[in-house]
């Protein structure tokens, strides 16, 4: 592990950052400087809202009861957010692709950091998270 105590422990502010990222993902189709063509992609909007709610919900679960599957799911959902502009066909819509790539990368990095911090913890230690 790292010599930095700041990075060794899964802290509750990381869960709050995950909740903030989830809220930003939900709101991303309506960010300013958006191409109005996104209105023609209801699947992209539905996908974005669903991903944001999943990230928000998993971060809330981590805040209450920490488990490793939550961090792995966060990483997978972040990777899907990065890939979704290309998989769902809205990669030409300018800033939304940039927003989703950036937000997805932030979600993946946060999930990797949390998984790295909790890798050696046993179940009893994980239950103490947030207390």
Per-residue pLDDT of the chain (131 residues; tens, 9 = 90+): 445 555 656 677 788 889 999 999 999 888 766 666 566 678 888 999 999 999 999 988 887 777 778 889 999 999 999 999 999 888 876 788 888 999 999 999 999 988 887 777 666 665 555 55
Coil vs helix vs strand at 38: helix
Tally of CB atoms within 10 A around 89: 12
User: Which residue shows structure tokens 């950052």?
Assistant: 17
User: pLDDT at position 1, please?
Assistant: 44
**Gyration radius from the chain CA atoms:** 16
Residues 120, 74: Cα–Cα separation, whole Å: 19
Strands (E), 1-131: none
Q: What is the pLDDT of residue 124?
A: 60
Contact between residue 70 and residue 58 where contact means Cβ atoms under 8 Å apart = yes
The whole-number pLDDT of residue 79 equals 97
Position 63 scores a pLDDT of 78
- In sequence order, the 6+-apart residues with CB closer than 8 A to the CB of 35 are 93, 94, 95, 96
């Amino acid at each position: 592990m790292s010599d930095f105590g700041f990075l060794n422990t899964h802290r509750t502010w990381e869960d709050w950052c995950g909740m903030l990222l989830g809220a930003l993902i939900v709101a991303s189709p309506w960010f300013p400087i958006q191409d109005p063509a996104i209105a023609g992609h209801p699947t992209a909007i539905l996908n974005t809202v669903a991903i944001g709610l999943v990230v928000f919900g998993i971060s809330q679960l981590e805040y209450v009861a920490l488990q490793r599957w939550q961090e792995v799911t966060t990483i997978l959902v972040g990777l899907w957010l990065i890939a979704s502009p290309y998989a769902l066909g809205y990669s030409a819509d300018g800033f939304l692709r940039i927003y989703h790539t950036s937000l997805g990368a932030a979600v993946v990095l946060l999930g990797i950091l949390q998984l790295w911090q909790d890798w050696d913890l046993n179940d009893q230690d994980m239950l103490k998270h947030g207390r």
